A and B are shown apart, each in its own frame.
Chain A
Amino acid sequence: MTERDAQLRQALATQVAEILDAALPIEPAGGTSAAWDAVLRRLGVTPLPEDARFAAAQREQQARGAPIEEVSSCLERVVAAARGAQAGLLPAQAMELEALLARVPEQIASQYRQAACARPRGMFGYALADARQHRYERWHKTSSYVLRCPSCGGPQLEAGSFTCEYCGAPLAGSG
Protein backbone atom coordinates (compact mmCIF):
# COMPACT_ATOMS: atom_id res chain seq x y z
CA MET A 1 0.00 0.00 0.00
CA THR A 2 1.48 3.39 -0.98
CA GLU A 3 1.26 6.45 1.20
CA ARG A 4 -1.33 7.98 -1.11
CA ASP A 5 -3.48 4.88 -0.94
CA ALA A 6 -3.25 4.82 2.87
CA GLN A 7 -4.19 8.52 3.02
CA LEU A 8 -7.27 7.98 0.89
CA ARG A 9 -8.43 5.02 2.96
CA GLN A 10 -7.80 6.91 6.20
CA ALA A 11 -9.72 9.95 4.93
CA LEU A 12 -12.62 7.72 3.89
CA ALA A 13 -12.74 5.99 7.29
CA THR A 14 -12.64 9.33 9.11
CA GLN A 15 -15.46 10.79 7.04
CA VAL A 16 -17.64 7.71 7.43
CA ALA A 17 -17.04 7.79 11.20
CA GLU A 18 -17.98 11.48 11.30
CA ILE A 19 -21.24 10.75 9.50
CA LEU A 20 -22.17 7.90 11.84
CA ASP A 21 -21.08 9.73 15.00
CA ALA A 22 -23.30 12.68 14.11
CA ALA A 23 -26.27 10.71 12.77
CA LEU A 24 -26.71 7.91 15.29
CA PRO A 25 -27.18 9.75 18.62
CA ILE A 26 -30.06 11.83 17.27
CA GLU A 27 -33.29 11.46 19.23
CA PRO A 28 -36.14 11.28 18.49
CA ALA A 29 -35.59 9.16 15.42
CA GLY A 30 -35.73 11.26 12.28
CA GLY A 31 -34.75 14.43 14.11
CA THR A 32 -31.61 16.43 13.60
CA SER A 33 -28.86 18.13 15.57
CA ALA A 34 -26.36 20.93 15.09
CA ALA A 35 -23.64 18.35 14.41
CA TRP A 36 -25.75 16.55 11.82
CA ASP A 37 -26.79 19.80 10.12
CA ALA A 38 -23.10 20.67 9.85
CA VAL A 39 -22.33 17.32 8.21
CA LEU A 40 -25.14 17.78 5.70
CA ARG A 41 -23.94 21.30 4.89
CA ARG A 42 -20.35 20.22 4.51
CA LEU A 43 -21.25 17.41 2.13
CA GLY A 44 -23.80 19.49 0.23
CA VAL A 45 -26.72 17.17 1.03
CA THR A 46 -30.14 18.79 1.15
CA PRO A 47 -31.93 17.79 4.38
CA LEU A 48 -35.33 16.13 4.05
CA PRO A 49 -38.27 18.40 4.95
CA GLU A 50 -39.32 18.01 8.60
CA ASP A 51 -42.49 15.96 7.99
CA ALA A 52 -40.74 13.71 5.50
CA ARG A 53 -37.79 12.99 7.77
CA PHE A 54 -39.93 11.82 10.69
CA ALA A 55 -42.15 9.81 8.33
CA ALA A 56 -39.06 8.16 6.80
CA ALA A 57 -37.69 7.21 10.22
CA GLN A 58 -41.06 5.80 11.23
CA ARG A 59 -41.32 3.82 8.00
CA GLU A 60 -37.89 2.28 8.62
CA GLN A 61 -38.84 1.62 12.28
CA GLN A 62 -35.83 3.56 13.53
CA ALA A 63 -35.43 3.85 17.29
CA ARG A 64 -33.03 6.77 16.92
CA GLY A 65 -30.77 8.53 14.44
CA ALA A 66 -31.06 10.74 11.39
CA PRO A 67 -33.13 9.31 8.51
CA ILE A 68 -31.35 6.45 6.75
CA GLU A 69 -32.00 8.21 3.44
CA GLU A 70 -29.95 11.23 4.52
CA VAL A 71 -27.15 9.03 5.83
CA SER A 72 -27.06 7.16 2.52
CA SER A 73 -26.87 10.43 0.60
CA CYS A 74 -23.94 11.53 2.76
CA LEU A 75 -22.14 8.24 2.17
CA GLU A 76 -22.66 8.60 -1.59
CA ARG A 77 -21.11 12.07 -1.44
CA VAL A 78 -18.10 10.84 0.49
CA VAL A 79 -17.58 7.99 -1.95
CA ALA A 80 -17.93 10.32 -4.94
CA ALA A 81 -15.31 12.63 -3.44
CA ALA A 82 -12.96 9.68 -2.84
CA ARG A 83 -13.40 8.54 -6.45
CA GLY A 84 -12.34 11.96 -7.65
CA ALA A 85 -9.18 11.86 -5.56
CA GLN A 86 -7.65 8.66 -6.90
CA ALA A 87 -5.02 10.38 -9.05
CA GLY A 88 -1.54 9.13 -8.24
CA LEU A 89 -2.57 5.59 -7.38
CA LEU A 90 -1.16 2.58 -9.16
CA PRO A 91 -3.74 0.87 -11.40
CA ALA A 92 -3.97 -2.16 -9.09
CA GLN A 93 -4.48 0.06 -6.03
CA ALA A 94 -7.09 2.09 -7.89
CA MET A 95 -8.98 -1.09 -8.69
CA GLU A 96 -8.85 -2.27 -5.08
CA LEU A 97 -9.98 1.11 -3.83
CA GLU A 98 -12.80 1.21 -6.35
CA ALA A 99 -14.00 -2.18 -5.16
CA LEU A 100 -14.01 -0.83 -1.61
CA LEU A 101 -15.83 2.36 -2.63
CA ALA A 102 -18.46 0.34 -4.45
CA ARG A 103 -19.22 -1.57 -1.24
CA VAL A 104 -19.13 1.32 1.22
CA PRO A 105 -22.53 3.02 0.74
CA GLU A 106 -24.59 -0.15 0.96
CA GLN A 107 -22.52 -1.87 3.64
CA ILE A 108 -22.26 1.16 5.94
CA ALA A 109 -25.91 2.11 5.39
CA SER A 110 -26.87 -1.43 6.36
CA GLN A 111 -24.79 -1.24 9.55
CA TYR A 112 -26.33 2.14 10.31
CA ARG A 113 -29.83 0.74 9.78
CA GLN A 114 -29.09 -2.08 12.20
CA ALA A 115 -27.80 0.31 14.88
CA ALA A 116 -30.55 2.89 14.37
CA CYS A 117 -33.33 0.32 14.50
CA ALA A 118 -31.99 -1.60 17.52
CA ARG A 119 -34.24 -1.42 20.53
CA PRO A 120 -32.98 -2.19 24.02
CA ARG A 121 -34.50 -5.30 25.56
CA GLY A 122 -35.75 -5.99 29.06
CA MET A 123 -37.59 -3.88 31.59
CA PHE A 124 -34.64 -1.48 31.96
CA GLY A 125 -33.26 -1.57 28.43
CA TYR A 126 -33.93 2.09 27.72
CA ALA A 127 -32.98 3.26 31.21
CA LEU A 128 -29.66 1.42 31.06
CA ALA A 129 -28.88 2.73 27.58
CA ASP A 130 -29.69 6.20 28.91
CA ALA A 131 -27.48 5.69 31.98
CA ARG A 132 -24.51 4.71 29.84
CA GLN A 133 -24.54 8.07 28.10
CA HIS A 134 -23.30 9.87 31.25
CA ARG A 135 -24.85 13.05 29.94
CA TYR A 136 -23.95 15.32 32.84
CA GLU A 137 -20.44 14.10 33.57
CA ARG A 138 -18.86 17.43 32.58
CA TRP A 139 -20.91 19.21 35.25
CA HIS A 140 -19.57 16.94 37.98
CA LYS A 141 -17.23 19.58 39.46
CA THR A 142 -17.33 22.81 41.41
CA SER A 143 -16.76 25.88 39.30
CA SER A 144 -16.34 29.61 39.68
CA TYR A 145 -16.54 32.64 37.51
CA VAL A 146 -15.77 36.32 37.79
CA LEU A 147 -18.01 38.87 36.16
CA ARG A 148 -15.86 41.00 33.89
CA CYS A 149 -16.38 44.40 32.35
CA PRO A 150 -17.36 44.04 28.69
CA SER A 151 -15.56 47.30 27.99
CA CYS A 152 -12.12 46.99 29.67
CA GLY A 153 -12.11 43.40 30.97
CA GLY A 154 -11.70 44.45 34.61
CA PRO A 155 -13.19 42.08 37.22
CA GLN A 156 -16.14 42.87 39.47
CA LEU A 157 -14.66 44.00 42.79
CA GLU A 158 -17.75 44.31 44.93
CA ALA A 159 -20.67 41.91 45.09
CA GLY A 160 -23.87 43.67 44.06
CA SER A 161 -22.04 46.52 42.33
CA PHE A 162 -22.45 46.40 38.57
CA THR A 163 -20.38 49.41 37.53
CA CYS A 164 -16.78 48.78 36.52
CA GLU A 165 -14.36 50.14 39.15
CA TYR A 166 -11.75 50.69 36.45
CA CYS A 167 -13.56 52.38 33.56
CA GLY A 168 -17.06 53.12 34.90
CA ALA A 169 -18.86 51.05 32.24
CA PRO A 170 -21.81 48.88 33.28
CA LEU A 171 -20.80 45.29 34.04
CA ALA A 172 -24.12 43.84 32.99
CA GLY A 173 -27.12 44.90 30.96
CA SER A 174 -27.27 48.02 28.82
CA GLY A 175 -26.63 50.34 31.74
Chain B
Amino acid sequence: MQAIVDKWEAFLGKVSARFREIMAEAEPGLDEIIATEVLDPAPVSGALSAVKARVYGLQKKIDESWASIDAQLEGGALRNQLQERGRALSKQIEMELEVFLIHKAAQAARALKVLVDKELGQVPRCSGCGVDLVPPVRHEASTVTCAHCNAVNTLMPGMATLMFYRGSAPHALAQEAALAEWKAQQQAEQAFHDIREPGPADLKRLEAAHVAYWRTYCQAFCQLHPGWGPAEVEREYTGRVGQFYYWARHSNHTLAKATWGPA
Protein backbone atom coordinates (compact mmCIF):
# COMPACT_ATOMS: atom_id res chain seq x y z
CA MET B 1 0.00 0.00 0.00
CA GLN B 2 2.85 2.37 0.83
CA ALA B 3 4.23 1.83 -2.67
CA ILE B 4 1.00 3.15 -4.17
CA VAL B 5 1.05 6.16 -1.88
CA ASP B 6 4.67 6.88 -2.81
CA LYS B 7 3.90 6.50 -6.49
CA TRP B 8 0.98 8.94 -6.27
CA GLU B 9 3.00 11.47 -4.26
CA ALA B 10 5.91 11.25 -6.71
CA PHE B 11 3.52 11.71 -9.62
CA LEU B 12 1.89 14.78 -8.06
CA GLY B 13 5.35 16.21 -7.38
CA LYS B 14 6.26 15.79 -11.04
CA VAL B 15 3.02 17.44 -12.18
CA SER B 16 3.69 20.33 -9.84
CA ALA B 17 7.26 20.72 -11.15
CA ARG B 18 6.05 20.57 -14.76
CA PHE B 19 3.46 23.24 -14.02
CA ARG B 20 6.21 25.51 -12.65
CA GLU B 21 8.25 24.90 -15.82
CA ILE B 22 5.30 25.83 -18.03
CA MET B 23 4.67 29.02 -16.10
CA ALA B 24 8.38 29.89 -16.13
CA GLU B 25 8.30 29.65 -19.93
CA ALA B 26 4.95 31.40 -20.23
CA GLU B 27 5.85 34.51 -18.26
CA PRO B 28 8.70 35.87 -20.42
CA GLY B 29 7.16 34.41 -23.58
CA LEU B 30 3.96 36.37 -23.16
CA ASP B 31 5.87 39.48 -22.16
CA GLU B 32 7.74 39.29 -25.45
CA ILE B 33 4.56 38.84 -27.47
CA ILE B 34 2.82 41.71 -25.69
CA ALA B 35 5.85 43.92 -26.28
CA THR B 36 5.86 42.91 -29.96
CA GLU B 37 2.20 43.19 -30.93
CA VAL B 38 -1.10 43.97 -29.23
CA LEU B 39 -2.88 45.74 -32.07
CA ASP B 40 -3.55 42.32 -33.55
CA PRO B 41 -5.31 40.34 -30.81
CA ALA B 42 -4.51 36.95 -32.36
CA PRO B 43 -0.93 36.49 -31.09
CA VAL B 44 -1.75 37.20 -27.42
CA SER B 45 -4.93 35.18 -27.65
CA GLY B 46 -3.05 32.30 -29.32
CA ALA B 47 -0.33 32.41 -26.68
CA LEU B 48 -2.85 32.37 -23.80
CA SER B 49 -4.57 29.41 -25.45
CA ALA B 50 -1.22 27.63 -25.74
CA VAL B 51 -0.61 28.04 -21.99
CA LYS B 52 -4.13 26.83 -21.21
CA ALA B 53 -3.75 23.80 -23.47
CA ARG B 54 -0.54 22.75 -21.71
CA VAL B 55 -1.96 23.23 -18.25
CA TYR B 56 -5.25 21.51 -19.05
CA GLY B 57 -3.17 18.62 -20.39
CA LEU B 58 -1.47 18.37 -16.99
CA GLN B 59 -4.79 18.42 -15.15
CA LYS B 60 -6.05 15.67 -17.44
CA LYS B 61 -3.00 13.60 -16.53
CA ILE B 62 -3.92 13.90 -12.84
CA ASP B 63 -7.39 12.52 -13.59
CA GLU B 64 -6.05 9.71 -15.77
CA SER B 65 -3.39 8.69 -13.27
CA TRP B 66 -5.87 8.78 -10.44
CA ALA B 67 -8.07 6.31 -12.31
CA SER B 68 -5.12 3.91 -12.45
CA ILE B 69 -4.20 4.44 -8.76
CA ASP B 70 -7.83 4.15 -7.71
CA ALA B 71 -8.11 0.72 -9.32
CA GLN B 72 -5.39 -0.52 -6.97
CA LEU B 73 -7.01 0.85 -3.79
CA GLU B 74 -9.75 -0.66 -1.70
CA GLY B 75 -11.54 2.50 -0.61
CA GLY B 76 -11.60 3.96 2.86
CA ALA B 77 -9.92 6.97 4.39
CA LEU B 78 -6.61 6.55 2.61
CA ARG B 79 -8.29 6.50 -0.79
CA ASN B 80 -10.21 9.68 -0.01
CA GLN B 81 -7.07 11.32 1.30
CA LEU B 82 -5.07 10.51 -1.83
CA GLN B 83 -7.88 11.58 -4.11
CA GLU B 84 -8.17 14.85 -2.23
CA ARG B 85 -4.42 15.48 -2.69
CA GLY B 86 -4.89 15.18 -6.45
CA ARG B 87 -7.96 17.40 -6.44
CA ALA B 88 -6.23 20.03 -4.33
CA LEU B 89 -3.27 20.18 -6.68
CA SER B 90 -5.55 20.38 -9.70
CA LYS B 91 -7.49 23.21 -8.06
CA GLN B 92 -4.33 25.04 -7.09
CA ILE B 93 -3.03 24.78 -10.67
CA GLU B 94 -6.36 26.01 -12.00
CA MET B 95 -6.36 29.05 -9.69
CA GLU B 96 -2.75 29.96 -10.45
CA LEU B 97 -3.42 29.64 -14.16
CA GLU B 98 -6.50 31.86 -13.94
CA VAL B 99 -4.63 34.55 -12.01
CA PHE B 100 -1.81 34.40 -14.56
CA LEU B 101 -4.27 34.72 -17.48
CA ILE B 102 -6.03 37.66 -15.82
CA HIS B 103 -2.74 39.51 -15.23
CA LYS B 104 -1.47 38.89 -18.76
CA ALA B 105 -4.74 39.93 -20.40
CA ALA B 106 -4.64 43.14 -18.34
CA GLN B 107 -0.98 43.68 -19.27
CA ALA B 108 -1.93 43.39 -22.95
CA ALA B 109 -4.79 45.85 -22.38
CA ARG B 110 -2.39 48.36 -20.82
CA ALA B 111 0.00 47.98 -23.76
CA LEU B 112 -2.94 48.59 -26.10
CA LYS B 113 -3.84 51.72 -24.11
CA VAL B 114 -0.41 53.17 -24.92
CA LEU B 115 -1.30 52.84 -28.61
CA VAL B 116 -4.75 54.31 -27.93
CA ASP B 117 -3.16 57.41 -26.39
CA LYS B 118 -0.94 57.74 -29.45
CA GLU B 119 -3.98 57.65 -31.73
CA LEU B 120 -5.90 60.08 -29.58
CA GLY B 121 -2.96 62.47 -29.82
CA GLN B 122 -3.48 62.72 -33.59
CA VAL B 123 -5.60 65.65 -34.74
CA PRO B 124 -8.15 64.53 -37.33
CA ARG B 125 -8.31 66.65 -40.45
CA CYS B 126 -11.11 67.40 -42.88
CA SER B 127 -10.66 65.12 -45.86
CA GLY B 128 -12.26 67.83 -47.99
CA CYS B 129 -10.02 70.83 -47.25
CA GLY B 130 -7.48 69.58 -44.69
CA VAL B 131 -8.23 71.86 -41.74
CA ASP B 132 -8.17 70.47 -38.20
CA LEU B 133 -11.43 69.04 -36.89
CA VAL B 134 -12.70 68.77 -33.34
CA PRO B 135 -14.61 65.49 -32.99
CA PRO B 136 -17.39 65.29 -30.38
CA VAL B 137 -16.06 61.92 -29.18
CA ARG B 138 -12.73 60.19 -29.73
CA HIS B 139 -13.40 56.60 -28.74
CA GLU B 140 -15.97 55.83 -31.42
CA ALA B 141 -16.95 56.93 -34.92
CA SER B 142 -18.57 60.36 -35.28
CA THR B 143 -19.54 62.88 -37.91
CA VAL B 144 -18.28 66.46 -37.92
CA THR B 145 -19.20 69.26 -40.29
CA CYS B 146 -16.08 71.15 -41.29
CA ALA B 147 -16.33 74.79 -40.19
CA HIS B 148 -14.24 75.82 -43.16
CA CYS B 149 -15.70 73.96 -46.18
CA ASN B 150 -18.95 72.59 -44.69
CA ALA B 151 -18.21 69.02 -45.80
CA VAL B 152 -19.58 66.33 -43.50
CA ASN B 153 -16.66 64.23 -42.28
CA THR B 154 -17.05 60.76 -40.89
CA LEU B 155 -14.25 60.31 -38.36
CA MET B 156 -13.00 56.84 -37.59
CA PRO B 157 -10.91 56.17 -34.51
CA GLY B 158 -7.78 54.13 -35.09
CA MET B 159 -7.62 50.38 -34.71
CA ALA B 160 -6.15 50.52 -31.18
CA THR B 161 -8.94 52.81 -29.95
CA LEU B 162 -11.66 50.63 -31.41
CA MET B 163 -9.98 47.49 -30.13
CA PHE B 164 -9.63 48.95 -26.65
CA TYR B 165 -13.13 50.34 -26.15
CA ARG B 166 -15.02 47.78 -28.22
CA GLY B 167 -12.87 44.79 -27.39
CA SER B 168 -12.02 42.89 -24.26
CA ALA B 169 -9.63 45.44 -22.72
CA PRO B 170 -12.12 46.93 -20.23
CA HIS B 171 -13.08 43.42 -19.13
CA ALA B 172 -9.43 42.43 -18.68
CA LEU B 173 -8.61 45.51 -16.62
CA ALA B 174 -11.78 45.23 -14.55
CA GLN B 175 -11.05 41.58 -13.82
CA GLU B 176 -7.60 42.49 -12.58
CA ALA B 177 -8.97 45.36 -10.48
CA ALA B 178 -11.37 42.92 -8.82
CA LEU B 179 -8.86 40.10 -8.45
CA ALA B 180 -8.97 39.95 -4.64
CA GLU B 181 -12.78 39.84 -4.70
CA TRP B 182 -12.68 37.22 -7.45
CA LYS B 183 -10.44 34.98 -5.34
CA ALA B 184 -12.77 35.42 -2.38
CA GLN B 185 -15.72 34.58 -4.62
CA GLN B 186 -14.00 31.41 -5.84
CA GLN B 187 -13.29 30.36 -2.27
CA ALA B 188 -16.86 31.09 -1.26
CA GLU B 189 -18.14 28.97 -4.16
CA GLN B 190 -15.90 26.10 -3.15
CA ALA B 191 -16.91 26.39 0.51
CA PHE B 192 -20.61 26.50 -0.40
CA HIS B 193 -20.44 23.45 -2.62
CA ASP B 194 -18.45 21.53 -0.01
CA ILE B 195 -21.39 21.79 2.41
CA ARG B 196 -23.68 18.80 2.11
CA GLU B 197 -26.82 20.72 3.07
CA PRO B 198 -26.21 24.46 2.86
CA GLY B 199 -28.49 26.73 4.84
CA PRO B 200 -29.65 30.33 4.32
CA ALA B 201 -26.61 31.67 6.16
CA ASP B 202 -24.31 29.80 3.76
CA LEU B 203 -26.15 31.25 0.80
CA LYS B 204 -25.90 34.73 2.31
CA ARG B 205 -22.14 34.32 2.56
CA LEU B 206 -22.00 33.23 -1.07
CA GLU B 207 -24.19 36.14 -2.09
CA ALA B 208 -21.93 38.59 -0.27
CA ALA B 209 -18.90 37.26 -2.19
CA HIS B 210 -20.70 37.60 -5.53
CA VAL B 211 -21.93 41.08 -4.70
CA ALA B 212 -18.45 42.23 -3.65
CA TYR B 213 -16.87 40.86 -6.82
CA TRP B 214 -19.38 42.26 -9.27
CA ARG B 215 -19.53 45.64 -7.51
CA THR B 216 -15.77 46.09 -7.79
CA TYR B 217 -15.68 44.66 -11.31
CA CYS B 218 -18.48 46.92 -12.61
CA GLN B 219 -17.03 50.00 -10.96
CA ALA B 220 -13.71 49.42 -12.72
CA PHE B 221 -15.36 48.34 -15.99
CA CYS B 222 -17.52 51.45 -16.22
CA GLN B 223 -14.66 53.83 -15.42
CA LEU B 224 -13.04 52.68 -18.64
CA HIS B 225 -16.01 53.74 -20.75
CA PRO B 226 -16.02 57.47 -21.53
CA GLY B 227 -19.27 59.07 -20.51
CA TRP B 228 -20.49 56.25 -18.28
CA GLY B 229 -21.70 57.19 -14.80
CA PRO B 230 -23.46 55.66 -11.79
CA ALA B 231 -26.52 54.67 -13.83
CA GLU B 232 -24.38 52.58 -16.18
CA VAL B 233 -22.52 51.05 -13.24
CA GLU B 234 -25.84 50.02 -11.74
CA ARG B 235 -27.13 48.62 -15.02
CA GLU B 236 -23.97 46.59 -15.55
CA TYR B 237 -23.98 45.40 -11.95
CA THR B 238 -27.61 44.32 -12.04
CA GLY B 239 -27.05 42.41 -15.25
CA ARG B 240 -23.87 40.69 -14.13
CA VAL B 241 -24.91 39.75 -10.60
CA GLY B 242 -28.30 38.73 -11.95
CA GLN B 243 -26.91 35.38 -13.05
CA PHE B 244 -26.16 34.53 -9.42
CA TYR B 245 -29.69 35.42 -8.30
CA TYR B 246 -31.13 33.49 -11.23
CA TRP B 247 -29.11 30.42 -10.24
CA ALA B 248 -30.11 30.77 -6.58
CA ARG B 249 -33.82 31.14 -7.37
CA HIS B 250 -33.86 28.22 -9.75
CA SER B 251 -31.54 25.91 -7.89
CA ASN B 252 -33.26 22.84 -6.73
CA HIS B 253 -32.66 23.10 -3.00
CA THR B 254 -34.50 24.47 -0.04
CA LEU B 255 -32.80 27.83 -0.38
CA ALA B 256 -34.84 28.72 -3.42
CA LYS B 257 -37.52 30.00 -1.05
CA ALA B 258 -35.16 32.20 0.95
CA THR B 259 -35.92 35.89 0.83
CA TRP B 260 -33.00 37.89 -0.36
CA GLY B 261 -31.54 39.80 -3.31
CA PRO B 262 -33.27 42.27 -5.56
CA ALA B 263 -36.80 41.45 -6.69
**Is B a genuine binding partner of A?**
yes
**Interface residues in chain A, defined as those with a beta carbon under 8 Å from any beta carbon in chain B:** 122-124, 126-128, 130-137, 139-147, 155-159
Per-position binary interface string of chain B over residues 108-144, scored 1 when its CB falls under 8 Å from any chain A CB and 0 otherwise: 0000000100111010111110000100000000011
B124→A136 contact, CB < 8 A: no
B30→A124 contact, CB < 8 A: yes
Q: Which residues of B contact A124 (CB under 8 A)?
A: 29-30, 32-33, 47, 50
> Which residue of the partner chain, among B30, B37, B125, B154, contacts A134 with CB atoms under 8 Å?
B37
> Which residue of the partner chain, among A140, A143, A156, A159, contacts B156 with CB atoms under 8 Å?
A143
A156→B151 contact, CB < 8 A: yes
B167 CB to closest chain A CB, in angstroms?
12
B153 located at the interface, meaning its Cβ lies under 8 Å from any Cβ of chain A in the complex: yes
**Interface residues in chain B, defined as those with a beta carbon under 8 Å from any beta carbon in chain A:** 22, 25-26, 29-30, 32-33, 36-37, 39-40, 42-44, 46-47, 50-51, 54, 115, 118-120, 122, 124-128, 133, 143-145, 149-161
B156→A144 contact, CB < 8 A: yes
B29→A156 contact, CB < 8 A: no
Q: Which residues of A contact B157 (CB under 8 A)?
A: 142
B154→A131 contact, CB < 8 A: no
B36→A132 contact, CB < 8 A: yes
Q: Which residues of A contact B47 (CB under 8 A)?
A: 123-124, 127-128
Closest residue of chain A to B120, judged by CB? A142
A146→B152 contact, CB < 8 A: yes
Alpha-carbon distance A61/B70, docked complex (angstroms):
42
A94 CB to closest chain B CB, in angstroms?
48
Alpha-carbon distance A135/B41, docked complex (angstroms):
10
Alpha-carbon distance A20/B149, docked complex (angstroms):
48
> Which residue of the partner chain, among B42, B43, B126, contacts A144 with CB atoms under 8 Å?
B126
Alpha-carbon distance A128/B35, docked complex (angstroms):
10
- Given A134-B40, A145-B153, 4 further pairs, Cβ under 8 A: A140-B39, A143-B158, A144-B133, A158-B152
A142-B158, A144-B154, A146-B127 given; A137·B143 CB < 8 A: no
Closest residue of chain A to B149, judged by CB? A155
A155→B25 contact, CB < 8 A: no
Alpha-carbon distance A139/B144, docked complex (angstroms):
21
Alpha-carbon distance A108/B155, docked complex (angstroms):
47
Which 3 A-B residue pairs are closest in the complex by CB-CB distance?
A: A155-B151, A139-B159, A131-B43
Q: Which residues of B contact A127 (CB under 8 A)?
A: 33, 42-44, 46-47, 50
Q: Which residues of A contact B125 (CB under 8 A)?
A: 144
Alpha-carbon distance A142/B47, docked complex (angstroms):
28
Q: Which residues of A contact B40 (CB under 8 A)?
A: 130-131, 133-136
A140→B160 contact, CB < 8 A: yes
Closest residue of chain B to A141, judged by CB? B158
Alpha-carbon distance A100/B209, docked complex (angstroms):
75
Closest residue of chain A to B39, judged by CB? A136
A137→B39 contact, CB < 8 A: yes
A146→B156 contact, CB < 8 A: no
A125 CB to closest chain B CB, in angstroms?
9
B55 CB to closest chain A CB, in angstroms?
11
B119→A140 contact, CB < 8 A: yes
A74 CB to closest chain B CB, in angstroms?
30
Q: Which residues of A contact B159 (CB under 8 A)?
A: 136, 139-140
A123→B29 contact, CB < 8 A: yes
A153 CB to closest chain B CB, in angstroms?
11
B107 CB to closest chain A CB, in angstroms?
14
Alpha-carbon distance A159/B145, docked complex (angstroms):
8
B154→A139 contact, CB < 8 A: no
Q: Which residues of A contact B156 (CB under 8 A)?
A: 142-145
Q: Which residues of A contact B154 (CB under 8 A)?
A: 144-147
Complex A-B: 16 CB contacts under 8 Å:
A124-B47, A127-B47, A128-B47, A131-B40, A131-B44, A136-B40, A140-B160, A142-B120, A142-B157, A144-B126, A144-B153, A144-B154, A145-B153, A146-B151, A157-B152, A158-B152
Of B143, B149, B152, most A-chain CB atoms within 10 Å = B152
